A = this chain, B = another copy of it.
Amino acid sequence: MSVIKPQIPKGFRDFLPAQNIIRQGIIDVVRTTFETFGFEPLGTPCIEYAETLEGKYGEEGERLIYKFEDRGGRNVALRYDLTIPLCRVISLYPEIVKPFKCYQIAPVWRADKPQKGRYREFYQCDIDIIGSDSMMADAELIVIIYRVLSKLGFKDFTIRINNRKLLNALAIKAGITDAEGAAFLRTLDKLDKIGTEGVRSELTDKGFTNTAIDNVLGIFNSEWQERTIPLDEIKELIKGIAIGEQGVNELLIIQKALKAQTVPEDCYCFDLTLARGLDYYTGPVFETVIKTPKVGSITGGGRYDNLIGLFSKTPFPATGTSFGLERLVAVAEEMEKDARTNTRTQVLVAFFDEALMDETLKIAQMMRNEGLRTEVYFAAEKLKKQLSYAAQKGIPLVVLLGPDEIAGGTVMLRNMLIGRQDNVSREDLVNKIREQL
């Protein structure tokens, strides 16, 4: 048989241990934090009926859905995000007790053009609260974002918070009709990327009047930092517009809940320009940006009170947020670039002689029983080769067990990082290893 060229499809990635250890570490922090707040694990299949996904992600999103025919000729698709499958789950199992707090950590697929930092298969970490209209739920998501990022050691991140109701009020104030609202918000959302002039020209192209554009841009015509407007000023701004007043009151409750849960004030801001692209948001929206490295937003989410109604006659209010695992990993890799490791293994037990297999395996078993991550070298090769293997892998400690040590009931413990080697009694071995890890 001829050799097949080993290839990975474009836009897809293998995660070798060096990177996967970082990914797993982040997932563990994310998951533990979610569970500390009472979220339960939910799993959905990677494949959904195409009609479940169609018509949910806008024109551009629609084109990126991976669709194909199932064996029975039905149209199926790889899931595009974790939110729509969740809405399907909520509708399919009315027995689920509400409010339902759940998390999902899983891959999603988009048939996008592969480019730096953009992949066709990537992981999302979602938390959602279904069946509560309380602003305490939205605030809790923001608290969790803060706690996850702090635990990961991230610095200089800002959670931007806004409310779609405020944006609707601003649109009303500017004379923009309900029908035009979505198109208006999609352009406004690009303020960060294309600037005030870019927004003006795109709104003009979309047919908005100069007066409407001036009315809105008057509010935003300043630098990013200065766009953070205190809530009482916003309240003044939308006075008399009912939906706007409701929006501010919601943000005031969120602010109070964030303070009670000691989220530092320099970690979040109320930012009127944040729109979030998707059409389905109905209330508070929030995303997190980080100064370095430049990776775009690392979380995004908001309230989507009407989305479950697409699948069910008994809709539920809902709010949720998604952590982009790929971007969290990019930040963590930047932080840990000098401390990367290929292994989580703590000890290598060297192997001197086939005749010593029993003793060698027993020592390894003793360490494993103590929870030490322990590897046995499988061939009685030259010690130099075995030590070089430990060094290449980055295993910090090597246990050497030759005939002399076995006769004396001891082992040699070699620290690969400082090059020291000690004769240690078997009873002390585990403690000595723990001291050096």
> A residues bordering B, Cβ < 8 Å?
1, 3-10, 12-17, 20-21, 23-24, 35-38, 40-49, 51-52, 66, 68-72, 74, 76, 88-89, 91-93, 96-97, 99, 101-102, 107, 109, 111, 120-121, 129, 132, 134, 136-137, 140, 253, 256-257, 260-262, 309-313, 342-345, 348, 357-358, 361-362, 365, 368, 371-376, 378-379, 389, 392-393
Distance (Å) between the CB of A88 and the closest chain B CB?
Answer: 5
Known: A7-B92, A68-B68. 15 other contacts (CB 8 A): A3-B311, A6-B89, A8-B48, A8-B88, A9-B76, A14-B89, A20-B43, A36-B368, A37-B368, A40-B345, A46-B109, A97-B342, A136-B357, A137-B378, A261-B365
Task: Report whether A312 and B357 are in contact in the complex, using a CB–CB cutoff of 8 Å.
Answer: no
Most buried by B among A48, A96, A137, A345: A345
Q: How far is the CA of A8 from the CA of B362 in the complex (A)?
A: 50
7 inter-chain pairs at a CB distance below 8 angstroms, sorted by A residue, are A6-B312, A9-B48, A15-B41, A17-B42, A38-B343, A71-B111, A261-B362
CA of A38 to CA of B345, assembled, Å: 5
Report the Cα distance A379→B96, complex, angstroms.
18
**Considering the chains assembled together, what is the distance between the CA atoms of A134 and B386 in angstroms?**
15
Copies of this subunit: 2
With a CB–CB cut-off of 8 A, which chain B residues contact A69? 68
* Docked pose: A71 CA to B348 CA in angstroms: 46
A50 closest partner in B (C-beta): B9
A40 touching B17 in the complex, CB below 8 Å, given contacts A3-B310, A107-B46, A256-B358: yes
* Chain B residues whose CB sits within 8 angstroms of the CB of A136 once the complex forms: 357, 361, 376, 378
- Separation in Å of the A310 CB from the closest CB of chain B? 6
Tell me, rounded to whole Å, the shortest Cβ–Cβ distance linking A269 to chain B: 21
Q: A389–B97 contact, CB under 8 A?
A: yes
The 8 Å CB contact of A16, one of B51, B93, B312, is: B93
Instruction: State the CA gap A99–B379 with chains docked (Å).
Output: 10
Q: Are A43 and B15 neighbours in the complex by a CB distance under 8 Å?
A: yes
Task: Let me know if B101 and A375 touch, CB within 8 A.
Answer: yes
Give complex CA distance A16, B44 in Å: 8
- The answer to whether A361 and B261 touch across the interface, beta carbons within 8 angstroms, is yes
Determine which of B3, B14, B74, B310 lies in contact with A4 in the assembled complex, contact meaning CB atoms within 8 Å: B310
Cα–Cα distance between A16 and B12 once the two chains are bound (Å):
29
A5 to B313, CA, bound (A): 10
Q: A72-B10, A260-B361 are in contact. Are A1 and B310 (CB under 8 A)?
A: yes
- Which residues of B have CB within 8 Å of A109? 46-47
Among B49, B92, B102, B362, contact of A17 (Cβ-Cβ < 8 Å):
B102
